Amino acid sequence: MSKVTFFGGEQFPLEMHKVRIIQKLTLLPIEDRLAAIEQAGFNTFLLQNADVFLDMLTDSGVNAMSDLQQAAMLIADDAYAGSATYTRLYDKLVEIFGMDYFLPAHQGRAAENILAQVLVRPDTVVPMNYHFTTSKQHITVHGAEVLEFIRPEGLEVTSYHPFKGNFDTDRLRQLVAERGADAISYVRMEAGTNLIGGQPFSLENLREVRDICREHGLTLVLDASLLADNLYFIKTREEACRDMTIPEITRAIADCSDILYFSARKLGFGRGGGICIRDEETYKKLRGYVPMYEGFLTYGGMSVREMEAITVGLDETMDEDMINQGPQFIAYMVNELEQRGVPVITPPGGLGAHVDAMRFLDHIPQPEYPAGALAAAIYLCSGVRGMERGTMSEQREPDGTEPLADMELVRLALPRRVFTLSQVSYAIDRIHWLHQNRTMVGGMKFVEEPEILRFFYGRLAPVNDWPHQLMAKFRQDFGDSL
């Protein structure tokens, strides 16, 4: 796991950085946690951060910055147009990805909006390895359909397959043969496939997708938001890439893509986003939407300080010692949970540990949101905030029917460079306890269900009084411990 071998034999991750700024945390007693989650409508998105001990909701915009990033922020060049900060970011992106054109955006979904405005044609399809919530929404709102061509192993919860994010290229060939290239707006490939557990694609698979796209004149769009983890997995899991450096793998990935967009809330340990484009004509088509939705072309809704931080953060992403911390901590957490009998997605991916609520709470039917119930129960027994990634995160069909998600997961994200191994061990301990008491957890129902992206601000209620019963059991087992 770590590059260092330990005398005691046990391997554990070893941080190649030290903490120089800290933020104090509070761990509320379970009675206060119950009050907080009730007030939040049992939706972890609606919790106040002050009521959270370890915030594992996401790794978006909450990764720790380095000393060099913070230093760079001080020399940011404030200008509406032509800022030197923008030039530094642009030069870094060209150096790393080798694409000539760049459009800034305030975050990843803003890049998706601009791409969808120009590339998505109604009554077409957009095949992809797997959807992400916001990317799907932007495509469907323009009247196109998302097709998910993840290989079957991608949806197997437990597996040893190293690249569960791989695209099923046979299905792509078949689609082109049956419907023709004109029926396809573009092909989307997502690095570190978010909703199936941060699972990577291999360079070999991406190259196969690229070959099909080139053969049929299809545009290949790469969502590089979770590229850092994917790079690490290619380096450590793909035999043919073992001797390549991280910058070489990055360039090989970019070379396959016509367009590459990212959320810099994830990529580059920053906050922001953007679109790298290979050809001038496409760039010009996309360009007009940046001043319309984001801001002028040299900031696109980002502050210059954030842009400086991203520039340095992108350099750090090219450093294996900087990008290995996430995957190594996640692997530790996944392996330790698995050893305690807690069902988790394997092999460990990027982004975070993903607990399989379908097995953890196999007594709760899917329409009662097992992953939503588990996220609430984990907060209650630990103060750890995770995120439901299951049926609640789907949206109803226009006729009101509710599609059941392929997987019911609770994602426990590990923002990069933020938590220590002892904090991760605490989370493992409490989840282990909850697993032992899992039959006490019951289902949930919506009491307020928004039409769009309901998981963000929908409110729920437990189907019976299981939260109070679980709290009583916690007190019985842990006495007056927090």
- Residue 347: is the preceding peptide bond cis (ω within 30°)? yes
Q: Choose the catalytic residue: 266, 416, 430, 454.
A: 266
For ligand F0G, the binding residue among 108, 274, 370, 462 (CB under 6 A) is: 108
* Dist CA 64 CA 404 (whole Å): 35
CB of 277 to ligand F0G, least distance (A): 17
158, 220 Cβ separation under 8 angstroms: no
For ligand F0G, the binding residue among 132, 455, 466, 474 (CB under 6 A) is: 132
2 scored as a contact of ligand F0G (CB under 6 A): no
413 DSSP β-pair partners: 352
258 CA to centre of own chain: 22
Q: Choose the catalytic residue: 32, 77, 133, 279.
A: 133
Both tokens assigned to 309: 């931080």
- Nearer to ligand F0G (CB atom), residue 40 or residue 176: 40
Spatial CB neighbours of 161, under 8 Å, sequence gap ≥ 6: 153, 347
164 scored as a contact of ligand F0G (CB under 6 A): no
Tell me, by CB under 6 A, how many residues bind ligand F0G. Answer: 16
> Which region among 2-10, 78-86, 127-135, 326-334 touches ligand F0G (by CB under 6 A)?
127-135
389 scored as a contact of ligand F0G (CB under 6 A): no
For ligand F0G, the binding residue among 40, 54, 226, 344 (CB under 6 A) is: 226
For ligand F0G, the binding residue among 190, 315, 316, 356 (CB under 6 A) is: 190
- Nearer to ligand F0G (CB atom), residue 132 or residue 329: 132
Site string for ligand F0G, 257-276 (x = CB under 6 A): ------x-x-------x---
> Which region among 102-110, 326-334, 378-386, 417-425 touches ligand F0G (by CB under 6 A)?
102-110
Q: Choose the catalytic residue: 136, 188, 389, 454.
A: 389
32 annotated active-site: no
> Which region among 46-54, 66-74, 89-97, 128-136 touches ligand F0G (by CB under 6 A)?
128-136
219 annotated active-site: no
230 scored as a contact of ligand F0G (CB under 6 A): no
> Which region among 22-30, 101-109, 288-296, 309-317 touches ligand F0G (by CB under 6 A)?
101-109
69 scored as a contact of ligand F0G (CB under 6 A): no
CB of 108 to ligand F0G, least distance (A): 2
315 φψ region: left (φ > 0), alpha (ψ -120 to 50), beta (else): alpha
* Dist CA 467 CA 472 (whole Å): 9
* Dist CA 381 CA 112 (whole Å): 37
43 scored as a contact of ligand F0G (CB under 6 A): no
214 annotated active-site: no
CB of 230 to ligand F0G, least distance (A): 10
223 annotated active-site: yes
223 scored as a contact of ligand F0G (CB under 6 A): yes
Q: Using CB atoms within 10 A of its CB, is residue 257 exposed (0-12), middle (13-18) or buried (19+)? A: buried
> Which region among 26-34, 156-164, 219-227, 430-438 touches ligand F0G (by CB under 6 A)?
219-227
254, 260 Cβ separation under 8 angstroms: yes
* Dist CA 219 CA 210 (whole Å): 9
* Dist CA 73 CA 327 (whole Å): 27
134 scored as a contact of ligand F0G (CB under 6 A): yes
- Nearer to ligand F0G (CB atom), residue 190 or residue 316: 190
7 annotated active-site: no
354 scored as a contact of ligand F0G (CB under 6 A): no
- Nearer to ligand F0G (CB atom), residue 109 or residue 305: 109
- Nearer to ligand F0G (CB atom), residue 260 or residue 333: 260
455 annotated active-site: yes
229 scored as a contact of ligand F0G (CB under 6 A): no
18 annotated active-site: no
Q: Choose the catalytic residue: 53, 97, 102, 132.
A: 132
Active site residues: 80, 132-133, 223, 266, 389, 455
Question: Residue numbers of the site for ligand F0G (CB under 6 A)?
Answer: 58, 60, 107-109, 132, 134-135, 190, 194, 223, 225-226, 263, 265, 273
